[in-house]
């Protein structure tokens, strides 16, 4: 799975979650329909049947939004990876010839070089 495309994994997970949502909605629908069958008056039966229909409708809407969001994310990721692969890496700046010596990382070499260099005398103002 290390070399699997992440966009395919995103889509696969969304499909699994979609199935889970729809299965839960069917359970809830069956529960409400069972309560409707046990209800004694007509208003209660209608209320439970309406709840069953609403549960399925809301679950379908949630599942649809989930799939759309997952498709958008997967497409965006795939597009970003294509753009990154097509993009040219920026060139590293070349080292200049008058760069500091390699031993100057801690600053000791430059201090010694400065001490060794003769100091210029200040010119008197006339």
CB atoms within 10 A of CB 70: 19
pLDDT tens for 18-36 read: 999 999 999 999 999 999 9
User: At 94, is the secondary structure helix, strand, or coil?
Assistant: coil
Q: What pLDDT does residue 42 have?
A: 94
**Do the beta carbons of residue 7 and residue 77 sit within 8 Å?**
yes
Q: What pLDDT does residue 2 have?
A: 47
Phi, psi of 73 (to 5 degrees): -65, -45
Q: What pLDDT does residue 52 have?
A: 96
pLDDT tens for 62-112 read: 999 999 999 999 999 989 888 888 886 666 666 666 655 555 555 555 555
Q: What pLDDT does residue 7 have?
A: 87
pLDDT at 116 over 90: no
Q: What pLDDT does residue 24 have?
A: 96
**Do the beta carbons of residue 17 and residue 9 sit within 8 Å?**
no
User: What's the CA gap between 33 and 53, in Å, rounded?
Assistant: 9
Radius of gyration of the chain (CA): 36
pLDDT at 1 over 50: no
Q: What pLDDT does residue 87 have?
A: 84
**Residue located via tokens 């069917």:** 26
pLDDT band at 13 (very low <50, low <70, confident <90, very high): very high
- Total residues belonging to the chain: 126
Q: What pLDDT does residue 70 have?
A: 94
User: By C-alpha distance, which of 25, 121, 6, 7 is closest to 74?
Assistant: 7
């Amino acid at each position: 799975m290390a070399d699997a495309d992440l966009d395919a994994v995103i889509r696969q997970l969304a499909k699994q979650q979609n199935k889970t949502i729809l299965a839960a909605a069917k359970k809830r629908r069956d529960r409400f329909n069972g309560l409707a069958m046990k209800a004694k008056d007509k208003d209660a039966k209608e209320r439970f049947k309406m709840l069953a229909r609403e549960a399925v409708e809301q679950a379908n809407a949630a599942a649809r939004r989930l799939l759309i969001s997952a498709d958008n994310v997967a497409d965006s990721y795939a597009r970003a990876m294509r753009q990154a692969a097509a993009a040219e890496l920026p060139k590293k700046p070349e080292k200049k010839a008058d760069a500091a010596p390699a031993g100057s990382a801690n600053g000791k070499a430059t201090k010694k070089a400065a001490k060794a260099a003769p100091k210029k005398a200040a010119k008197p103002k006339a």
